[in-house]
Structure 1
Amino acid sequence: MPLLRRAQVAALGAALLAAGCLAAPVAGADDITPSGCVQPGPTLRYLVVFDKGTAEPDADAQISAACGATTVYYPQIAVAVATSPDPGFGDKIGPGRAYSAQGESGTATGQSSRRKIDETMSAASLLSSTESVPSADLGDKQWDMRLIDANLAHQITEGDPRVVVGVLDSGIDPRHPDLKQALDPQLSVGCLTGKADPSVAAWAPTTSPHGTHVAGIIAAADDGKGVTGVAPGVRLASVKVVDDDGYIYPEYAVCGFMWAATHGITITNNSYYVDPWEYTCSDQQGQRVVTEAMKRAVDYATSQGVLNVAAVTNSAADLTQPGTDTRSPDNAPSHPVRGVNSNCAVLPAAERGVVAVSSVGSNQVKASYSSYGLGAIDVTAPGGDVHQKPANGNNPCVLSTVPGGYGDFCGTSMAAPHVAGVAALLASTHPGDTPAQLTKLLNQQAKPVQCPSDYDLNDTGVQDAYCSGYASFNGFYGHGMVNALNAVSTGTTPKLTGPTTDAPAQTDKGPTGKATPIGPEQLAAGQ
């Protein structure tokens, strides 16, 4: 499996020893502890996959014997997160069973300077207060909500508070006035060690407004101030899976899906892809561990009644065609990408049962950056595009909440929460439906969007992308544009017929009713 070169690790260990950060080895011990474990550091975090059905004591024993320590074990899927300073941990635990995305990206040793999510704000500005947020009604600037008829849908329903959308992202600002009534701190958690941490400090945003922006698209309050989300009547859970360097390692995502599965979350929004590769290849050493662990986590969440929605990236890539991933970690070679129907895929969007979302601008044309591909896209939604100018001089990107106020971002990251919001409306009007049934309704309520006859965005005479398929299902838009009004006007759910392996209907395992907002004193105390 990919690990830091032993020479690099040894050099770092020597430096730490000289600095007094490590204890000196016993003379003649040759840097080997009595247990036979090499301890030069740095301590890396690993995702470890076991045979299904492995009991927790057995998994712990195997990790310990391989010179590691268990951070958390998820017996439902037989996946663990472990740490070890021994560069041979992967070999000791067994071939093809452990992988350190942290080690491959170089963040554990400070080698990587790449920041994946570049929308950053200072820590001070992230600690917003109610008084500092403008109170003007910004609804007229929300062209995206009008595009999916969200304002008309709200005349029928704004969603049921028993429906909870887990925002797997960089954290949600608990003080924002548009979000504090919807945000449920009891269902919020940080996953940046791979193990759930329910403290406010673990799930509140620190360096990125991304999660707060996504949350506002889903459920910002309909109070005549600021912006309004697609489903302002549902609840939100902040599930932090983006670290301060902008990375979403697979163990973070696994933790997020397992939290959703075990805490009654109805829908998850995933506006990211797992690191350290944009495309994870199951036939490459190490990455098959990520592929298997992610599959188990997503499948388990689905089996527990969770509908998962995910963005398909901003690479303008045809996800069904061969290519090369040039977005590899620092100091690592690029590797072949063969699309979602082969061994390489964008995770979690390509997972079975996940609703994959592309992005359109205000003109309902595929955004220039949005990835696409026939069979890779389920539905589309507004994500904004600077090439498509909305009417009335509004910003071409999507306006939503950010810590301390409001901001405009473009991306499939913004398209996915529109779909999660429509799914939340469907879950509100069709309580007890399985993820498969909600997915079928999402596809049925979407408005078909035909392939454009000309997709030459820069007037160069060359098509910038090719749309295949037909009006009601194609590579740019899948089944079409989600529509909130259609979603709440569907009436009784048409039950699926024939044999099915889908999960039983979700039960409300979490608290009911409105969330209890978290106060400034709790945030300051890190509770």
Structure 2
Amino acid sequence: MSRMKRLLIPAATALAVTAGGLLVSPSAAAAPSCDQASAEYSYVVLYHQRTPEHLVDSELRQKCGTKTAYYPEIGVAVATSRNQDFAEKVGVYRAYSAGKDVAEATSARADLRDVERTTEVSAADDLGAQQWDMRAIQAPEANEVNPGSRSVTVGVIDSGIEPTHPALKGALDPAASAGCLTGAADPTPSSWAPTTSDHGTHVAGTIAGQDTARGFTGVAPGVRLAAVKVVNDEGLIFPESAVCGFMWSARHGFEVTNSSYYVDPGMFYCSKEPGDAAAYEAVRRAVAYSTGKGALNVAAAGNSAFDIPAQTTDPNRPHPVDRSCAILPGGLDGVVTVSAIGYAGTKSSYSNYGRGAIDVTAPGGDRAQLPPPGEGAGCPLSTVVGGGYGTKCGTSMASPHVAGVAALLASTHRHASPRVLTSLLERQADPVPCGPDPTCTGSPSRNSHYGHGRVNALTAVL
């Protein structure tokens, strides 16, 4: 971030920062004239690591911002402002508002949202017979050996988890859950409960759900779940929410997190571009911090059916994309990125792919790859809001299978680092060859569609 405006303020001196960037004493700093009428937006703002909080407060106040949260470990603040030029006052390589971008944008999300629509399942159905996705990764056999440890917590960074669902209430840890929509963690139950989306509840069931009465079991039913809500009621995930989610996970010692989303509004964030640079760096720091605190972060590759490294444009925003850009958080170092396969074991039609962009693969379903009669739908079955069950397709559904296997590994290799767990995931995966599809390149043990292969739950517990 060499072009970033640097805030060099000695901690031992009582200095404030004026709107012009000059260092002055607090008594000499004139009170700013701030907009009180325009719409208020939330921003991520970058600082040096461990910048004293009172200096952060001082700069934000002088530039017409109000602090919502500050994470000194990574030097990232979340602030609100009504001033339309707030980012310019702070520096466009240091501050960014996704909400403001969305309000001013003319384009919408370009990923295939219809892929993840829910199809509910009848209460009379035998659920276990429909879980072809679990059989594909040998989860039932793994559960007989080791269902996972209650000492392991998976943070479901998503749209919330229904706390009363019969398959989830035994795994969910309310004390470890929080809402992060403002960028500041709120542990009250209403802040992390689902509102307009069953996405997080579906993801949670795949990881650790268990309903013996209905015959439903997730990958690692013995581990704990924490709901970390980052998806707002419009279905968007902003950088400040993602930062809050990863920092909450780090501070609470989660062994694994699952991120079945990308950070909005851009599908790609570019580390060298104004605005983007601040969001990219804020999320990168939060992910790196959580990894350093022992969390293995797993993320979905995306549902746009493209070769990630070959992309030259952002389908959500009209800007060029190069190797300095990434889909967040999946494109960041240390994150395990997951593609999707269907019942036939081949890449789902919607799944993103790319040499070096995919680490492993797992069942995400495909409506064109249908199981035999009696084995369920083409999309994986899991829990939905209202205490029921339904099917969804997507890399969002593939990722929690991997998070569940990672949780089993963390259960059998207590205190293993994220790097070790990642290595085990990759080495124990079942190789998947490319087949006739010309877009797939590489060997069975490492290729652009399946990475190191399909994860294996049974091997994780042996």
Q: Confirm or deny a common fold (TM above 0.5).
A: yes
- The answer to whether the Cα contact below 8 Å between 1:47 and 1:289 also exists between their aligned partners in 2 is yes
- Provide the residue aligned with 1:379 in structure 2: 360
1:145 aligned to which of 124, 131, 134: 134
- Provide the residue aligned with 1:265 in structure 2: 254
| Partner amino acid, structure 2, of 1:392 | P
- Provide the residue aligned with 2:152 in structure 1: 163
* Superposed counterparts of 1:178-189, under 5 Å: 178-189=167-178
Aligned pair 1:402/2:375, yes or no? no
Measure how far apart 1:39 and its partner are.
2.7
- The answer to whether the Cα contact below 8 Å between 1:137 and 1:224 also exists between their aligned partners in 2 is no
1:389 aligned to which of 358, 370, 373: 370
Measure how far apart 1:153 and its partner are.
0.6
1 CA distance for matches of 2:358 and 2:384?
28
Q: Evaluate the alpha carbon distance shift between residue 392 and residue 56 of structure 1 in structure 2; reply closer, same or farther with a 3 A threshold.
A: same
Percent identity over the alignment?
54
> So what's the TM-score if we normalise by structure 2?
0.89
2:279 aligned to which of 283, 286, 290: 290
| Partner amino acid, structure 2, of 1:476 | H
| Partner amino acid, structure 2, of 1:400 | S
- Stretch deviating more after TM superposition (223-232 or 185-194): 223-232
Measure how far apart 1:424 and its partner are.
0.3
| Partner amino acid, structure 2, of 1:336 | P
Measure how far apart 1:120 and its partner are.
7.8
* Superposed counterparts of 1:346-385, under 5 Å: 346-385=327-366
- The answer to whether the Cα contact below 8 Å between 2:46 and 2:278 also exists between their aligned partners in 1 is yes
Deviations 1:32-70 (A, max 9, x none): x96322333101101000122311111111111111100
* Superposed counterparts of 1:20-59, under 5 Å: 35-59=32-56
Aligned pair 1:426/2:414, yes or no? no
Q: Evaluate the alpha carbon distance shift between residue 135 and residue 241 of structure 1 in structure 2; reply closer, same or farther with a 3 A threshold.
A: farther
- Provide the residue aligned with 2:398 in structure 1: 415
| Partner amino acid, structure 2, of 1:53 | R
Measure how far apart 1:266 and its partner are.
1.0
Measure how far apart 1:88 and its partner are.
1.8
- Stretch deviating more after TM superposition (44-53 or 190-199): 44-53
* Superposed counterparts of 1:462-501, under 5 Å: 466-489=439-462
Measure how far apart 1:91 and its partner are.
1.9
2 CA distance for matches of 1:204 and 1:58?
35
Q: Evaluate the alpha carbon distance shift between residue 485 and residue 235 of structure 1 in structure 2; reply closer, same or farther with a 3 A threshold.
A: same
* Superposed counterparts of 1:430-449, under 5 Å: 430-449=413-432
| Partner amino acid, structure 1, of 2:64 | C
| Partner amino acid, structure 2, of 1:77 | I
> So what's the TM-score if we normalise by structure 1?
0.78
2 CA distance for matches of 1:270 and 1:442?
17
- Provide the residue aligned with 1:209 in structure 2: 198
| Partner amino acid, structure 2, of 1:288 | A
2 CA distance for matches of 1:315 and 1:402?
24
2:225 aligned to which of 214, 227, 236: 236
Measure how far apart 1:222 and its partner are.
5.2
- Provide the residue aligned with 1:498 in structure 2: none
Q: Evaluate the alpha carbon distance shift between residue 355 and residue 114 of structure 1 in structure 2; reply closer, same or farther with a 3 A threshold.
A: closer
- Provide the residue aligned with 1:75 in structure 2: 72
- Provide the residue aligned with 1:29 in structure 2: none
Deviations 1:149-181 (A, max 9, x none): 001111101000110000000000001000000
- The answer to whether the Cα contact below 8 Å between 1:222 and 1:232 also exists between their aligned partners in 2 is no
- Provide the residue aligned with 1:323 in structure 2: 312
What SS does the aligned partner of 2:222 have?
coil
1 CA distance for matches of 2:79 and 2:347?
41
Measure how far apart 1:135 and its partner are.
7.4
Q: Evaluate the alpha carbon distance shift between residue 450 and residue 110 of structure 1 in structure 2; reply closer, same or farther with a 3 A threshold.
A: closer
2 CA distance for matches of 1:351 and 1:287?
14
Aligned pair 1:337/2:321, yes or no? yes
* Structure 1 vs Structure 2 CA RMSD: 2.1
2 CA distance for matches of 1:237 and 1:287?
29
What SS does the aligned partner of 2:309 have?
coil
2 CA distance for matches of 1:373 and 1:111?
29
- The answer to whether the Cα contact below 8 Å between 1:136 and 1:226 also exists between their aligned partners in 2 is no
What SS does the aligned partner of 1:47 have?
strand
Gaps of 5+ in 1: 1-32, 126-131, 329-333, 456-462, 490-527
2:57 aligned to which of 55, 60, 67: 60
- The answer to whether the Cα contact below 8 Å between 1:164 and 1:235 also exists between their aligned partners in 2 is yes
1 CA distance for matches of 2:284 and 2:352?
22
2 CA distance for matches of 1:248 and 1:162?
29
Gaps of 5+ in 2: 1-29
2 CA distance for matches of 1:363 and 1:217?
19
- The answer to whether the Cα contact below 8 Å between 1:148 and 1:482 also exists between their aligned partners in 2 is yes
- The answer to whether the Cα contact below 8 Å between 1:165 and 1:424 also exists between their aligned partners in 2 is yes
Deviations 1:122-157 (A, max 9, x none): xxx9xxxxxx99476410000000000001111101
1:304 aligned to which of 293, 296, 304: 293
Measure how far apart 1:440 and its partner are.
0.6
Measure how far apart 1:320 and its partner are.
1.4
- The answer to whether the Cα contact below 8 Å between 1:194 and 1:254 also exists between their aligned partners in 2 is yes
| Partner amino acid, structure 2, of 1:268 | T
Measure how far apart 1:390 and its partner are.
1.3
Measure how far apart 1:111 and its partner are.
8.0
Deviations 1:333-364 (A, max 9, x none): x11223xxx11111100111100000000111
Aligned pair 1:92/2:81, yes or no? no
What SS does the aligned partner of 1:207 have?
coil
Deviations 1:251-296 (A, max 9, x none): 1000000000001111000000000101111122100001111111
